[in-house]
Each structure stands twice: as structure tokens, then as C-alpha cells.
Structure 1
Amino acid sequence: MIFRIQACFAIIMLSFCFASCSSALKRSCEATNWFEYGELVAKRGQRTSTDSFVSQCEKEEVQIDHSALSQGFQKGLSEYCTPEFAYQLGRRGDPLSQDMCSGGQERLMKPKHAEGIVEYCQPSNGSAAGATGKKYNQICPKTLEAAFIPEFNKGRKKFLAGVMIQRQGEADDLEREINDLERRQQQGVFEIQNLEFEKTRLVHHMSGIATGQNTVQPLSSTGKTLQQLESDISNLRNENGQMGNEIRQRRARQTSLRKEAREAQAEILTL
């Protein structure tokens, strides 16, 4: 029986998370500037036809401005397919998607990209590169990699330590918010119980009037009518329901934050 209840609760929580994530995704899709996003996709060396965000927005049945998306992509592509941009990609340790470009541009881009990679893979740049948060993607030539990796890992450890502290701090803040919400929710439960008691007493009193046993006008000890009590009870239940939703949202976010903190700690131990 307990297992069945736990399983049902897990299913409810999972369904709630899916609904919440879907709603957030839809809002994000609706707020997107599709020209700017198309430009961004091109500068990442990707195509809009295979972009996961565009695909997700289509599944959410959000109206995408495909004309603006295409125009932005072409603008980004015109910048991407230049030797200067290829050099900057290499300098950041990012790969080059040569199949994005045509007209012989790739022949000029490849050597500039390699030049940027050489600068990126210098030991003096390793710590700064690791501290950006990007994982090492095996982009350095073997001749430079041996000296680069130890320095990169130093920066990576600093980054992960910061992530671990930040995520745990955010999770602790959420715990305080959850405790406050649970306290307010419990207070609401007590208020509902008191109002229900008043309502029951008032109903009995009204029954007495109907049978001639009571002659005093039906008012609760707080001076409220039956309708007012029912309205207050309904409002409190709605407020408690909203707080329950907020608690579940924060718990889901807290779980995610603590997972990220554990993953960061685990990776530090491997470096």
C-alpha cells in the first residue's frame, strides 16, 4: 500500500514537472526574437533545421517567424564564413563547421582557425580557458595538449568549486523559502479547521431556528454569515493550493540544484 502511494506521488510530481517545464518552454518560445536567434544559430556553426530549440517550439505549436529566422541565419552565416571569425573560434577553443560555408571560403578559414587553436592551447591560457566553464573538447594538437591540460584542469576545478558553492547556496535559500511556505500552509490548515468548526456550529444553530428551538439570528462567533464563512474557507483552500504548487516547484528546482552540486563535486575528484 505504501509503495503504491509513493509510486502515485512520484507520477504526480513527474507530471507536474513536465507541465511546468512545458509552460516555461512555451513562454520562452513566444518571447524569442527569431532574427537574433537565427543569427546566433549560424554563429554556433549549426543549421536552424536541426536546432533543438526551434524543434521544441514547433512541438509547442508556437508561431515561429521563419522569415525572420532565415534572415537572421543568413546574416550570422555571412559573419561566420570569414577568416577572422574562424580565427576567433579557434582562439576560444571552438570547432569550425566548414560545411556551413561555400565559394572557397573554407580554404581561407581553416588555416586561420588552426592559428587560433595554437594560441588557445598555450599553457599560459589553460587556467583561464578552464575557468570559463567549457569542458575540454580535445581540440588541441598532441604537441601542445600535454602542457595545456594540467593548466586547464586548474581553471576547471576553480569553476566547478564555484558552481558547487553557488548551487548549494541556492538550494539552501530554497529550503528556507519552502519552510516558510509550509509554515504558512499549516497555519492556513488551522484557520480552515476553525472556520469549518464555526460553519458546523452555525449550521446547527440555523437548524435550531428552523425547528423553533433557537430565535437568535444566525451569526458565527466572529459575526460572519454562513455564506461569508464558506467564502473564507474557499479562499483559504485556494491559497493553500497555490502554496502547495509553489512548494512543489521549489522542491523540483532544489533537487536539480543539488544534483548539479554533486556532479560538480564528482568531476573535481576526477581532475
Structure 2
Amino acid sequence: MKKLITSALLSISFVGCASQLKKECESTNWFKYGEEVALRGEWLSSDAKLLSCRKEEAEISESQADLGFKSGRQKYCTGTNTYLVGKSGDPFSKDLCDTPTLKSLVSDYNKGLRDYCSKANGFNAGSSGKKYKNLCPADLETKFLPEYKKGRLKYVEAQIKNLENRQRDLQLAISNKNTQVVTTRMNFMGVQNRRNLLESQKSFAQSTNNLSEVGRLNTELQNLDWELTRARQDVDRAETEKRNLESELDQTGKTIAEFRLEMAGL
């Protein structure tokens, strides 16, 4: 019986997750999303979200996504935009811009990239939090990288400090949540014990053929069943929240370790 209940709960959980993804897919503005994909320099055909929504068999507007992608592609393949792509230190997706003006677009991109890779921009590029993508020309990189690393070091130190503060907050939250878990479990056990007592009284009433007492106890048992369900839900909720906090604490520790490792090389 317990296995059946567990299986049912797992099925409900899976359906809930799937339904949430399906709702998100069906509420998406697909024209806008398609446009965003193109402006990121990516192809709609390999977009992870669109592929997931198709797999979920959600009702999505493929035509709107395609129109949005075409609109974004037109905007992406302009001299002004390709310059900004370079100025941001990002790669330029030339394959998206199959036009006679491609040579000019590449030239604008390279101008932007050289501005990004200037020594004067190095510190700001590093402190922005955006990782260097190894795109700078060799003649600029030697002067850019030392300044970039100074800015990146400042960013990493600030992130470690913030994450360590978050660690302390999470540790306190987990301690408080542990208390809540114990409290909800005790409450659940208390309700369960009261129910067991009523079941014993009901059995005695049945053995003495006290039908009125049996009826009264059945009503109380029904009320206790609802209370037991709520108590079980409180336990589950508290335990889930505790696991989520512990998971975040674990991930925070890993991120700090990654930043410390990076900091050692700056």
C-alpha cells in the first residue's frame, strides 16, 4: 500500500513539473522570444527552450517564433549591432548574416572588438563580471589582460564576500528550519496517537455493540484524518524547504571554491 501511495505521489509530482513547463511554454510570447534568440547570435532550430516545449507537446506558435527570429536576424545583421557585439566582447555569428554586406559587418565587429580590448576598457570589462572569451587580437591582449585581471579580481572578491554572507544566512535558516521540522513531526505524531486511541475506543464500542458511540467516534476519526493530512503536509513542506536550503548552501560552497580557485590565478 505504501509503495502504491509513493508511486502515486511521484506521478503527481512529475505531472506537476511537466504541467508547469507546459504552462510556461504556452504563455511565452514566441515572436519576442524568437527575436531574442537571433539577437543572441543563435539559431532557433537548436534553441533548448523551444526543443523542450516541442518535446512537452505544448501549444506553441511556431510561425510567430519564426517571424520573430527573422526580425531579430535582420536587427542582428546591421553594422550598428555588430559593432556593439564586438564592443561587448562577444563572438559574432557570421553564419546568421548571409548577406552581401557581410564583409562590412565583420569590419564593424572588429572595430567594436578592438574598443573592447583596449587597455582603458580592461578594468571595467573585468569588474563587470563577464568572463573574457579569448577574442582579443594578440597586439591588444597583452595590455588588455593585466587590467582585465585587476577588475576581475575585484569582482571575484566581492562575489566571495556576498556568498559568504549568504552562507551564514543559510546556516541560520537551516537551523531554524530544523526546529520547524522537529515541531511538525511531533505534531504529526501527536495527531497519529490521538487517532490510534480513537480507533481503540471504536473497537471497544463495536465489541459492546454501542452503535451511537461508534457513530460519534467515526465522525471524530474523519475530522482527525483531515487534521492528519494537514499535519503530514506540514512535515513534507518543512522537510522540502530544509532540503532546498541545504542544496543552496552546498551550491554556494561550491561556487565560493570555484571563485577562490580562479582568484589564485589572477
With the shorter chain as reference, the TM-score category is 0.7 to 0.9
Asked if residue 241 in structure 1 is aligned to residue 236 in structure 2, the reply is yes
Q: Which residue of 2 aligns with 1:177?
A: 173
Contact 1:165 1:261 in 2 (8 A): no
Q: Which residue of 2 aligns with 1:163?
A: 159
Q: 1:166, 1:29 → 2: CA distance?
A: 34
Q: 1:210 to 1:65 in 2, by over 3 A?
A: closer
Query: How far does residue 70 in structure 1 lie from its aligned partner after superposition?
Result: 1.1
Q: Which residue of 2 aligns with 1:139?
A: 135
Q: Which of 50, 54, 66 pairs up with 1:54?
A: 50
Q: 1:166, 1:26 → 2: CA distance?
A: 35
Aligned-pair RMSD on alpha carbons?
3.1
Q: Within 5 A, what are the aligned runs for 1:5-24?
A: none
Q: 2:161, 2:31 → 1: CA distance?
A: 37
Q: Which moved more, 1:128-137 or 1:255-264?
A: 255-264
1:230 maps to amino acid: D
Q: Which residue of 1 aligns with 2:113?
A: 117
Q: 1:211, 1:89 → 2: CA distance?
A: 84
Q: Within 5 A, what are the aligned runs for 1:203-222?
A: 203-210=199-206
Asked if residue 269 in structure 1 is aligned to residue 264 in structure 2, the reply is yes
Contact 2:160 2:259 in 1 (8 A): yes
Q: Within 5 A, what are the aligned runs for 1:194-209?
A: 194-209=190-205
User: Number of paired residues?
Assistant: 253
Q: 1:165, 1:22 → 2: CA distance?
A: 37
Q: Which residue of 2 aligns with 1:258?
A: 253
Instruction: Point out where structure 1 has 5 or more consecutive residues left out of the alignment.
Output: 1-16
Q: 1:161, 1:103 → 2: CA distance?
A: 44
Query: How far does residue 135 in structure 1 lie from its aligned partner after superposition?
Result: 1.6
Q: 2:19, 2:168 → 1: CA distance?
A: 26
Query: How far does residue 66 in structure 1 lie from its aligned partner after superposition?
Result: 1.3
Query: How far does residue 19 in structure 1 lie from its aligned partner after superposition?
Result: 8.9
Task: Looking at secondary structure, tell me which structure has more helix per residue.
Answer: 2
Could you tell me the TM-score, scaled by structure 2's length? 0.81
Asked if residue 37 in structure 1 is aligned to residue 33 in structure 2, the reply is yes
Aligned-pair identity in percent equals 31
1:63 maps to amino acid: E
Query: How far does residue 166 in structure 1 lie from its aligned partner after superposition?
Result: 3.0
Q: 2:22, 2:29 → 1: CA distance?
A: 14
Q: 1:43 to 1:123 in 2, by over 3 A?
A: same
Asked if residue 87 in structure 1 is aligned to residue 54 in structure 2, the reply is no
Deviations 1:17-39 (A, max 9, x none): 99998676555434432111111
1:118 maps to amino acid: R
Q: Which of 215, 224, 229 pairs up with 2:224?
A: 229
Deviations 1:92-124 (A, max 9, x none): 112222221133111111111111112111111
Q: 1:55, 1:99 → 2: CA distance?
A: 21
Contact 2:188 2:235 in 1 (8 A): no
Q: Which moved more, 1:77-86 or 1:164-173?
A: 164-173
Contact 1:121 1:148 in 2 (8 A): yes
Deviations 1:227-263 (A, max 9, x none): 3333322220122122222222333333223222221
Q: 2:25, 2:250 → 1: CA distance?
A: 25
Q: Which moved more, 1:79-88 or 1:242-251?
A: 242-251
Deviations 1:143-197 (A, max 9, x none): 1111100111111122222332333433443333333333222112222222333
1:243 maps to amino acid: A
Could you tell me the TM-score, scaled by structure 1's length? 0.80
Contact 1:121 1:145 in 2 (8 A): yes
Q: 1:60, 1:174 → 2: CA distance?
A: 35
Q: 1:169, 1:60 → 2: CA distance?
A: 39
